[in-house]
Amino acid sequence: MKEVVILSGKGGTGKTSIVGSFAALAQSKVLADCDVDAADLHLLLSPSIKQENEFWSGQVAFIDEEKCTQCGLCQDICRFDAIDDFKVDPISCEGCGFCSHICPVEAITMKESLSGHWFISDTKYGHLVHARLGIAQENSGKLVALVRQHAKEIAERDGLDYIISDGPPGIGCPVISSLSGANLALLVTEPTLSGIHDLERVLDVCHHFGIPALVCVNKYDLNEDNTRQIEDYCLNLGVEVAARVPFDNVVTEALVQGLPVVEYSQGEVTQEIESLWQTLTEALNG
Amino acid sequence: MIISVASGKGGTGKTLVATSLALSLKERDNVQLLDCDVEEPNDHVFMKPTITRSEAVSIPVPSVDEEKCTHCGKCGEVCAYNAIAVTKQKVLIFPELCHGCGACSYLCPEKAISEAANEIGVIEIGYADGVDFGHGKLDIGQAMAPPIIRQVKEHASHEGTVIIDISPGTSCPVVEAIKGSDFCLLVTEPTPFGLNDLVLAVETVRQLDIPCGIVLNRAGVGDEKTEEYCREGNLPILLTIPLDTEIASFYSRGIPLVEGLPQWKSSFLELFDKIKEIVNERSSDTER
């Protein structure tokens, strides 16, 4: 069983459209949507939810007004400025519990908070594990880890060949949680200076954690000079550019229909994504 | 006034809007642009700022004096992030998990724990073409963006207009960056992905009780549902930018929209006037 995670650094480069197409192309796989705070893969796969679970994580301090003597110690020691006027701002509270330990009259308790939900769904392409982080919640990294763990369990149980994970943008906590221990990262970029800048950073993250990476230049024909710059950059680092996908509005048309683009069009975009999936399977099994 | 530019979905045009709004407004007002997308900051690619000052961002992580330590285990017990493990012989510290709350050092009965700075990123402050500029950069391999965002925001000017560019998503870095804004612009595109993530972003800013308005980018690309949602939810669409290869071309080369196509300046100034009107109305409402 091999796991590939699709990342990009910059958002909106086309990760989810490509993962949706892999869902239709790959035979023996489970899908994981690791972009838990703005999950979109379900919009392409029309899942029917089979199992819904609560994600309890992290804690928030609560001050009992009756016991509180307003001594102010908690406000002084809180490094997240989460206590003001002897009330806790649950959004700023990082759940460290320092205040609850030092309150001289034990007026502060820590309460578990419901931080989101995660789901196991059936789709016509196979199982999908996905999640929804609660609005303004923390611990997205933990929820990502949970999604991956359940995808892995399904893959082991059903003897599946691949776990295909749609990752979040950025390079921080949820990205690290999506990446650690994966067999391969596919980095989807676009030929813009921002895309290149962000690709360099996410590639550095892959190297930092020792995860091999391949690059896909999406909408490569929007600026072919920049595409060449990406290819030169990758060549120097010994990173393979595995696909150049042209810009075509069929990708958005397919999305409006709620379909992976490879099921909607037989054009150049589809051919390129098919060959990309082929390259990925070779890299995963090589 | 602090205006944050957010989106939910990535790649909808936050950077385009933030940089062009700043560059349009500078003729009228003192403007500061703070890029709080510290994982993947991009404003500098367009603004090419001169950096005059940089400062490290670090988290205070525990450091144990093994001579004083009795391995009582108190620090491991109080750490909510599993960043400390105490064995019979040794105290193991995992700095990448530490949030720097300070509980362990304060509560250690032997006073065996001091704090040492663990660098996680950098802040750079400068100016670009008449705009005050600042951004933060998370170090490669580090997980925690919020402390860097907090430190970027400490540089926010108290005069004029501050424009904050926010990372995509709806979780803690986004909340940390938007918090305290007078207004939040949500940049979206008329596709099912754009709409799905816009709904989440709207819920986030409403939870923070910050007024918001929409910039519809790449208009004409997908379907009508995003506009329908805005109409039904009384979300004002304050600016519409069409899907246009010329605009995309300037963007791809790192040229701000209002520099490539100066006729857009008046649209961004109108956008600012609309924001100001909403913010003023709201503050007079609360006074009443």
Spell out the SS3 assignment of A42-87: HHHHCCEEEEEEEEEEEEEEEECCCCCCCCCHHHHHCCCCCEECCE
Smallest Cβ–Cβ distance between A43 and the set B168, B192, B248 belongs to B192
Structural domains of chain B, count: 2
CA distance to partner chain A, nearest, from residue B112 (Å): 17
Mean pLDDT over each residue of chain B, to the nearest integer: 96
A186-209 mean pLDDT: 98
pLDDT tops 70 at residue B288: no
A215-244 mean pLDDT: 98
B83 and B131 co-located in one domain: no
B37-46 mean pLDDT: 98
Q: How far apart, in whole angstroms, are the C-alpha atoms of residue B244 and residue B205? A: 29
User: A63: which strand partners?
Assistant: A108
B103 vs A contacts (CB less than 8 Å): 96-98, 101
In a domain, B118, yes or no: no
Banded pLDDT at A286 (limits 50, 70, 90): confident
DSSP notation for A6-40: EE-SSTTSSHHHHHHHHHHH-SSEEEEE--TTS--
Closest residue in chain B to residue A191, using alpha carbons only: B252
Start-to-end C-alpha separation, chain A: 13
Banded pLDDT at A94 (limits 50, 70, 90): very high
In a domain, B117, yes or no: no
**Tens digit of pLDDT for each residue in B203-253?**
999 999 999 999 999 999 999 999 999 999 999 999 999 999 999 999 999
Smallest Cβ–Cβ distance between A38 and the set B8, B15, B99 belongs to B8
CB A262 within 8 A of CB A18: no
CA distance to partner chain B, nearest, from residue A126 (Å): 21
Best mutation target among B202, B252, B257 (most A Cβ atoms within 10 Å) is B252
In a domain, B101, yes or no: yes
A80 vs B contacts (CB less than 8 Å): 101
In this prediction, residue B81 carries a pLDDT of: 92
CB contact under 8 A, B200 and A37: yes
In this prediction, residue B224 carries a pLDDT of: 96
Banded pLDDT at A109 (limits 50, 70, 90): very high
B215 and B269 co-located in one domain: yes
B238 and B143 co-located in one domain: yes
CATH (domain of B173): 3.40.50.300
Measured in residues, chain B has a length of 288
Collapsing DSSP states into helix, strand and coil, what is residue A125? coil
B252 and B274 co-located in one domain: yes
B272-279 mean pLDDT: 98
Can you read off the two tokens belonging to residue B94? 């995992």
Nearest to residue A250, comparing CAs of A227, A233, A267?
A267
In a domain, B151, yes or no: yes
In a domain, B91, yes or no: yes
Best mutation target among B75, B104, B149, B171 (most A Cβ atoms within 10 Å) is B171
In a domain, B263, yes or no: yes
B175 vs A contacts (CB less than 8 Å): 91, 136
B6 and B133 co-located in one domain: yes
B138 and B210 co-located in one domain: yes
In this prediction, residue A135 carries a pLDDT of: 83
Nearest to residue B244, comparing CAs of B215, B224, B220?
B220
Banded pLDDT at A140 (limits 50, 70, 90): confident
Sign of CA dihedral B127, B131, B132, B138: negative
B137 and B232 co-located in one domain: yes
B187 and B268 co-located in one domain: yes
- Of B89, B111, B133, the one marking the end of a domain is B111
pLDDT tops 80 at residue A139: no
B169-181 mean pLDDT: 94
List all residues 6 or more positions away from A283 whose beta carbon is below 8 Å from its beta carbon: A184, A212, A214, A240, A242
B99 and B132 co-located in one domain: no
Banded pLDDT at A47 (limits 50, 70, 90): very high
**Tens digit of pLDDT for each residue in B81-111?**
999 999 988 999 999 889 999 999 999 999 9
List all residues 6 or more positions away from A266 whose beta carbon is below 8 Å from its beta carbon: none
Walk me through the domains of chain A, giving residue ranges and CATH numbers: 2-46+124-285 (3.40.50.300), 57-114 (3.30.70.20)
Q: Is the pTM of this model over 0.80?
A: yes
Say how many CB pairs under 8 Å bridge A and B. 188
Q: How many C-beta neighbours within 10 Å does residue B231 have?
A: 12
Mean pLDDT over each residue of chain A, to the nearest integer: 96
B128 and B219 co-located in one domain: yes
In a domain, B165, yes or no: yes
B130 and B36 co-located in one domain: yes
CB contact under 8 A, B141 and A176: yes
CATH (domain of B88): 3.30.70.20
CB contact under 8 A, A136 and B39: no
pLDDT tops 90 at residue A191: yes
Q: Which of A101-105, A141-145, B220-224, B282-286 has the lowest mean pLDDT?
A: B282-286
In this prediction, residue B164 carries a pLDDT of: 98
Banded pLDDT at A12 (limits 50, 70, 90): very high
Can you read off the two tokens belonging to residue A245? 């996908």
Collapsing DSSP states into helix, strand and coil, what is residue B85? strand
Question: What range does the domain containing B207 cover?
Answer: 2-57+123-287
- A130, containing H or E segment: strand A126-133
Q: How far apart, in whole angstroms, are the C-alpha atoms of residue B179 and residue A199? A: 28
In a domain, B143, yes or no: yes
CB contact under 8 A, A101 and B167: no
Interface predicted TM-score (ipTM): 0.94
B152 and B211 co-located in one domain: yes
One-letter amino acid of B49:
P
